[in-house]
Structure 1
């Protein structure tokens, strides 16, 4: 009989052969001890000179493992592997048995050829359960990439779920060095970074060639991704460390190709400029950071200046910049938000600051006056390279001309998501190409949507001239465009009523937030007043923000309303804001108000609804450069076109969870033609994938899904009998109801959707809830039915239940720790507000795991946080505090039991590494302390309980 599909074992063997072909040697490693022995042999060989030809003893190798892994987080291990400006790549120091110190090198991050590349498979680890890993890629004996395979035809997300299970159950010791996961079913392959906390399947990435063509098949993927020089570059070069959130980011292929294209252009054609066209939301900032670093390290440029527009620099953006980059020599942040030009000039003077980050405004100030002429004159003829973020906005005016005249030997590399072409050119007639010469790499919005790096858009046009919900077409509204009609109280009332009636449904019960963009500051205030009038109890939290001078550029409006009245109006808004959120802002300190609004928009949470902003009314602010996965909806009551339209739409399409299926655009203006024109221009002629299915298409899909479900079970109660019929039948229910969940998650945001329109009332809202309960039961049934080897007996073992479509987020340990790490230390008021918010969540915690740690976290908030400097790393301070408290508890227990702290630490380490305490060592230690046989039995139980409780209490991920 001919086998229809390649088996998983065949796929694995073929994959191993492909890795051999591109340069990996196969080694046989069956278990954890064999892995340790193999790494030890390679480490001895690599450091034979440093070790004076004397291999590491058992005691010394234990030191190595403790130094490399110990109690380090995955983030800290990743930093150790790559090194830093202070700490060299992959090196540690240990003390030898003869008390001499020796440095050991275990990874060369500079030269890929100075490393050993190997592959093994089917390593078995015995922990809580027995886990057998498919394929492990080793560099210098360290497991760096873990590959999980499923046979062709099987959903490859099963491999993702399996990795999560292995990671939770048995990834310990050297396996904590895994940096990258790869999953594949032969025909579909993805990669993603390892890290602390929960991993999100939404951030599994495609690998592509330079033209953004998928290399999905495992053979094509291997021939590009796993070439040793490329894998080495991914680990050593194309990694970003987000210090604020303590997470490691592996760059995506188009980001890598763009950075490499810039470096190549600078090295081979220094006389030419260039630009990168990467769509909004694709991570241009990370790409430009990396390009800047490479240029500063691998060219002879005197300075590399990363230049942005101040209007893009909100508080969170500044923190991101400083999070990704090291501090300057003066121990100041790499980027500050002040207007202090002297700090920039000092960086230009310093030989220790090859990479400078600044705003175009600050640099223009430095070169425009005479104050710093002597300092800056040498730069006239020196090689300076500029990296310019959001090139379409800030690089076309007088400031750019002034900078060019001063830095005459400069090269410019621009990044833009929406280039200027002949069709959308401004008054000065200059396009992106005329300014930057050459397009170096392109990644369009259609590519990003296809790759699931950003979301597509659902666009609804709501007629407002003749009444609520009258459809807008090309003929209906264009002739009615007078200011009087568009700004009438009656029309605004209809729009506000529509938002209030539909906002909960559109935003998944306010799980997400929205922006309402309007035509002027006067309209922003008018809308704000209308919301207060129609929603006096503030069911929907609304505020507005604008710069009162910059937006009042309409001549007629200036006659009707001057700048002062706009500012007074905003003062009243901020007074309301202070009452709502217990803050103390004013227009005199507008930047602080802006920072707080930005933070609340980004940290929107269904856990603390009173702290949220649900609808933010803006004119132009927040429509460019503002990135927040929690922003799902854009309400439009102004005319948008070309790059302004795409930029505004793109605020809503950041990937978050499956509960956010697309960016939701609701327009109260007839901008359909403008939308089609802009999409066509910025998708290089193709509109494919930009728009999600229409309501009618989704309604048909929803009806089909209901029919499929009813073919499996007629009623919710019928699900119960499936348990007796076997897992195959239960699987049919799970898959059919999951299809309903996925479609419902998309269709629910449409105005046209209501339950009485669904399938001739054959499927009701009550049916939905009843089936949800049965689906939950099936999920928990699968979770509980696991045999002692960790293998689920059910055919449902690795189904992706997409459980987040069923339940809202819980307040768990990871969520609280993430909030603590992002505490705002800029001022005492902000710090205290963040502390009180977190303490309220701790007080209301219903998670037993969180309750066991709540007193520790609350004490840290009260004792440590108020004493931290504004530029302190809260995550590091928390880790230090927990280590101190853990040591104190170990010391107290040691005093009580007369067991040494060293012995207790060894027992904790043993449980951390091997999943059990070392019973014999414990017996020996108690015998040495003089305990009787009976006392030893009781104390061993007591010590084991203490070890388990200590690990549980002080583990925060």
Structure 2
């Protein structure tokens, strides 16, 4: 029992008690409780609220029934959640959610649905237990309304129950009944009273790994529902989350909600800019925590909320691969009126932006800005900027801001203010040749979020670091020893490199879950990179392996090693890379060369990110690098870093952090395999960048995991001894089945962590084999499909809300979302790259496995053939695809209307009703068919055809 104010609280406080207390908390925060028992009452309440808030615009004439139908069609209609979310917020320049409709008298009227500038101009309410009918009838726990629209949905479980059951309940609700106005829900909050998370809604599948904690400014969890609500649900904070702290990704057409530390950092920057314009500042947010999103949002709000002449987002060109560039472009093009990132080397385009009064926010590279202020051609045009107030936002400030270019920019923009973002600041311990630290350059630290915080919050993964001995008798060889010529010869000997390649090939499948993920091998120089590449290719050929290995690096025309390399396999690095690229072209059906190095680099980047277990012929499994991809590269698909080079301080943390991006449950941590002794360097770097607390950096070690796995196997055997015994559990009720699900899930979860260790042997596990695991997996999947996702019609299964974590045993499938993402990522900048991307997608369409993808495959293929060749660099492929599908849909509706002798608008209305309400309007359908002159029998046949066409059209022409 626990004491609370006013009495005692049970550890298993009921869901009803939690719900009542939460509603009371909302009332205390100024929300009004409204009684909305069902969907129709929600519609009626929204209509009344809309009338009252727009009464002046409506000239005191409330909306008629027909006008309100137009409102609903304009608000939701056939729109995606992304389009609805954009509509709610208006534009960045004018953040007012508005719609326009034609009144019955043909006049146009504008209606406000959300004021994004002033929180107090909106109406905040709370409802609970709204019943919605769909595939199954659902009753939603607590719904937060803003101006009558459901904006936040809260789902609760009683104390003591796994809060993730509420997540699975949300997933079920989305598929079964979240339609109509409930498609306006922007955020979900789930809680069991003691554990609370929030996450964004969207069109695609929800991922439990992207549920966020809410914290205070010092990164302390506000996990208890009461503490969470007291901070998160104040009117001003909730308004800011909806109006300010979301980012639209136009390329993926998704809404992203920011994490608390990102929000607090942005607020600290805004405050510094407004209160102390003469002082700079920096944000220390660990690598992988989303600094780019934070810095972009800070730039956007600084441009809107300060008196700065320009806000300039300054990036180092070397940090930008093709995907990063597309991310910037997708954020920018989601803001009406803003110019996308310009990556050309033409400095005149930057100068034109600086002279223009159209855009307060400019995104450019430090290289281009340096060229602008140093070129006599532009100095006269930019003289006025000597005194104008300019704010610079500088991403990855630990690298790009310590050189001559930064000094040149500072000298020209004398009245500038600088805000830097870094995951690995420069301290006295890792100081460079210019002897400047991050603090001396940026004056003041504004917010910090360290790697220990990010690992604790599950925003990044912990690390499993293994030290491998590669020289007999020299297990503890140091980096200083490597400087000696004899030791260097030993470290770079063919025998040692061959041993490492053999070790990698023997263990790579195990470390990457049979190549569900990929890896980077970091080496000291281009010569070693080519030697490793050659050894891999020889062994791959000899063993008939399908492992895909390549390398990428830069070269100089006159390298120091050219003379020494005369007569060797490759006399220069470039000649070696020419050979590598030739192999690459043969493997992936591309047409690159060192003359088109950028295209080659971008193609590698895309393949490393698109790595998919079911598209092995398109993957890169191991990428050998010297310096590239060890900083800035961000891919959840990368899980292993093999190192055979010296790393220390920020370069070590940056390299390690390539592997620890959160993905699915099959990726429990980032794996580091060191073939040089980096133990001390690792310990020193962790201590420095964790502010002395490295407790959470490492994941559990082998002995601890083995003990845990044996304990989970023991608990499983208490429920079922053998896989076939699971069949008997069906007769014992779902409570017993649920104990099996939880027990075997624990076994799988621990197995996914221990499997990557070289030490792991099934013989170490008590009374359990790999065959047992495989057999139990089959039974587990059967429970999932029989009951977990297919409940009986007459009752709801308790297994519906259990978190099966099916990702633990599943691999990716080629579905609509995957294909659409590939289409949106087509490289329009390069003709060969464009065609290679198109060919890849077509091959995947031929392998379409799901009915949903099969129904769209011919449309997507036609788009690739007809439209993609006409697109220009910078065009939005997603918008083009949507427009193409809309046109094809219009043709299909028109042809069907002609066939059944019905007006197009009638069919369109029935489609819209089905999408909004979940079913067609039967009464109106009968009336339309009567008006068309159909008799009883003909009407019955046409109704059947019409319903079939509506369902087919919705499935065929809706992407997500």
Coarse TM-score class (shorter-chain normalised): over 0.9
Q: 1:826 aligns with which of 826, 829, 840?
A: 829
How far does residue 395 in structure 1 lie from its aligned partner after superposition? 0.8
Whether the aligned pair in 2 keeps the contact of 1:477 and 1:670 (CA below 8 Å) is no
C-alpha distance in structure 2 between counterparts of 1:147 and 1:332, whole Å: 35
| Shift in Å, 1:225 | 0.5
- Kindly provide the CA deviation profile for residues 103-156 of structure 1, in whole angstroms up to 9, marking residues without a partner as x: 111110011111000000000011121110000000000000000000111111
Partners of 1:521 and 1:551 within 8 A in 2: no
TM superposition shift of 1:909: 1.9
Q: Within 5 A, what are the aligned runs for 1:619-698?
A: 619-698=626-705
Instruction: Note if 1:420 corresponds to 2:426.
Output: yes
Matching of residue 867 in structure 1 with residue 874 in structure 2: no
**Contact 2:249–2:327, Cα closer than 8 Å, also in 1:** yes
1:498 equivalenced with 2:503 (yes/no): yes
How far did 1:776 drift?
Answer: 1.0
Output the CA distance in 2 between the equivalents of 1:460 and 1:769: 28
Partners in 1 of 2:297 and 2:642 — Cα distance? 35
Q: Is the 8 A contact 1:520 1:551 kept in 2?
A: no
Structure-2 change in CA distance of 1:332 and 1:125 (3 Å): closer
Cα displacement string for residues 271-304 of structure 1 (whole angstroms, at most 9, x for unaligned residues): 1111000000000001000111111111111111
1:560 equivalent in alignment to 2:567: no
Alignment partner, residue 388 of structure 1: 394
Alpha-carbon separation, structure 2, partners of 1:808 and 1:327: 32
Residue 196 (structure 1) aligns with: 203
Pick from 351, 355, 361 the counterpart of residue 355 of structure 1. 361
SS in 2 for 1:248: strand
| Contact 2:713 2:747 (8 Å CA) reproduced | yes
Aligned residues of 2:425 and 2:438 also touching (Cα < 8 A): yes
Query: Matches of 2:120 and 2:752 in 1, distance apart?
Result: 49
Native 8 Å contact 1:28 1:120 kept in 2? yes
The match for 1:936 is 939
Residues 127 and 169 in structure 1, CA contact (< 8 A), matched pair in contact too: yes
Within the alignment, does 1:848 sit opposite 2:855 as a pair?
A: no
Give the secondary-structure state (helix, strand or coil) at the position aligned to 2:611.
coil
Identify the range of structure 1 (857-866 vs 456-465) with the bigger mean alpha-carbon deviation. 857-866
Give the corresponding residue for 2:916.
Answer: 913
Q: Which runs of 5+ in 1 are unaligned?
A: none
Distance 2:546 2:764 in 1: 27
Distance 2:135 2:557 in 1: 62
Pick the aligned partner of 2:160 from 148, 153, 157: 153
Q: Give, in angstroms, the shift of residue 551 of structure 1.
A: 12
Distance 1:787 1:388 in 2: 56
Q: Is the CA contact 2:252–2:824 (under 8 Å) kept in the aligned structure 1?
A: yes
Secondary structure in 2 matching 1:342: helix
Return the alpha-carbon distance in structure 2 between the equivalents of residues 477 and 871 of structure 1. Answer: 51
Secondary structure in 1 matching 2:596: helix
Q: Which residue number corresponds to residue 47 of structure 1? A: 54
Deviation at 1:783, TM superposition (A): 3.2
- Identify which of 772, 777, 800 aligns with 1:772: 777
- 8 Å Cα contact 1:243/1:324 also seen in 2: yes
SS at 1:539's partner residue?
A: coil
* CA spacing shift, 1:350–1:327, aligned 2, 3 Å: farther
Q: Give the match for residue 379 of structure 2.
A: 373
Which residue of the partner structure matches residue 345 of structure 2?
Answer: 339
CA–CA separation in structure 2 for the residues paired with 1:737 and 1:476: 48
What CA distance in whole angstroms lies between the structure 1 residues aligned with 2:63 and 2:70?
A: 10
**Other structure's SS at 1:441 match:** strand
* CA–CA distance in structure 1, aligned partners of residues 475 and 769 of structure 2: 27
Partner SS, residue 28 of structure 1: coil
SS at match of 1:797: helix
Counterpart-to-counterpart distance in 1, 2:596 and 2:94? 41
1:65 to 63, 72, 87: 72
Secondary structure of 1:463's aligned partner: coil
Residue 456 (structure 1) aligned with residue 458 (structure 2): no
Which runs of 5 or more structure 2 residues have no equivalent in the other structure?
A: 2-7
Alpha-carbon RMSD across the aligned residues, in angstroms, is 2.1
Partner of 1:796: 799
Q: 1:837 to 1:314 in 2, by over 3 A?
A: same
Q: Indicate conservation of the 8 Å contact 1:306/1:358, yes or no.
A: yes
TM-score by length of 2: 0.96
Report if the CA contact (8 A) 2:128-2:141 is conserved: yes
Q: Using the TM superposition, give the Cα deviation of residue 564 of structure 1 relative to its aligned residue in structure 2, in angstroms.
A: 7.3
Residue matched to 1:810: 813
Q: Which range moved further: 538-547 or 380-389?
A: 538-547
Partner of 2:4: none
What is the CA–CA distance in structure 2 between the aligned matches of 1:830 and 1:502, rounded to whole Å?
A: 33
Q: Secondary structure at the match of 1:260?
A: helix
Deviations 1:68-92 (A, max 9, x none): 1111100000000011257752111
CA deviations over 1:815-850 (Å, ceiling 9, x no partner): 222222222222232222122211111112222222
The superposition leaves residues 921-951 of structure 1 with CA deviations (integer Å, 9 ceiling, x where unpaired) of 2222222222222222222222222222222
Distance 1:595 1:568, change over 3 A: same
SS at match of 1:307: strand
> Can you list the C-alpha shifts for 1:198-232, whole angstroms capped at 9, x where unaligned?
11010000000000000000111001110100100
Q: Structure 1 residues 181 and 332 mapped into 2: Cα distance closer, same or farther (>3 Å)?
A: closer
Which stretch of the first structure deviates more once superposed, 640-649 or 333-342?
A: 333-342
Q: Map Cα deviations across residues 687-714 of structure 1 (whole Å, 9 max, x no partner).
A: 1111001111111111111111111111
Indicate yes or no: 2:85 matched with 1:82: no
Determine helix, strand or coil for the equivalent of 1:371.
Answer: helix
TM value normalised by structure 1? 0.96
Asked if the contact 1:461–1:472 (Cα under 8 Å) also holds between the matched residues in 2, the reply is no
3-state DSSP of counterpart to 2:287 = coil
* Structure 1 residues 432-581: aligned runs within 5 Å: 432-466=438-472, 482-536=487-541, 537=544, 539-549=546-556, 557=561, 560-561=564-565, 565-581=572-588
Q: Deviations over 1:661-700 (max 9, x none)?
A: 1001000001101101100110000011110011111111
Alpha-carbon distance, 1:473 to partner:
8.7
**Distance in 2, Cα, partners of 1:19 & 1:385:** 39
Distance in 2 separating the partners of 1:476 and 1:741 = 43
Match of 1:949 in 2: 952
Q: Following superposition of structure 1 onto structure 2, how do residues 593-608 of structure 1 map, counting pairs within 5 Å?
A: 593-608=600-615
CA distance in 1, matches of 2:610, 2:296: 24
Give me the whole-angstrom Cα distance separating, in 2, the residues matched to 1:599 and 1:5.
49
What is residue 222 of structure 2 aligned with on the other side?
A: 215
Are 2:562 and 2:571, in contact at CA under 8 Å, matched by a contact in 1? no
Give the C-alpha shift of residue 629 in structure 1.
0.6
Counterparts of 2:629 and 2:558 in 1: how far apart (Å)?
Answer: 13
1:937/1:87 CA distance change after superposition, 3 Å: farther
Deviation of 1:589 after TM superposition, in Å, equals 2.1
Instruction: Give the Å deviation of 1:558.
Output: 7.0
CA contact (8 A) 1:207 1:216 kept: yes
Give, in angstroms, the shift of residue 237 of structure 1. Answer: 0.6
Distance 1:548 1:473 in 2: 29
CA contact (8 A) 1:420 1:432 kept: yes
1:332–1:832 Cα change, 3 Å: farther
Q: In 1, distance between residues paired with 2:792 and 2:441?
A: 65
User: Which of 750, 765, 768 lines up with 1:743 in the alignment?
Assistant: 750
Aligned pair in 2 of structure 1 residues 849, 230: CA closer, same or farther (>3 Å)? same
* Displacement of 1:893: 1.6
Out of 882-891 and 250-259, give the one that drifted further.
882-891
| Paired residue secondary structure (1:210) | coil
Structure 1 contact 551–619 (Cα < 8 Å) conserved: no
Q: 1:707 aligns with which of 688, 708, 714?
A: 714
- Contact kept in structure 1, 2:644 and 2:675, CA below 8 Å: yes
Find the counterpart in structure 1 of residue 5 from structure 2. Answer: none
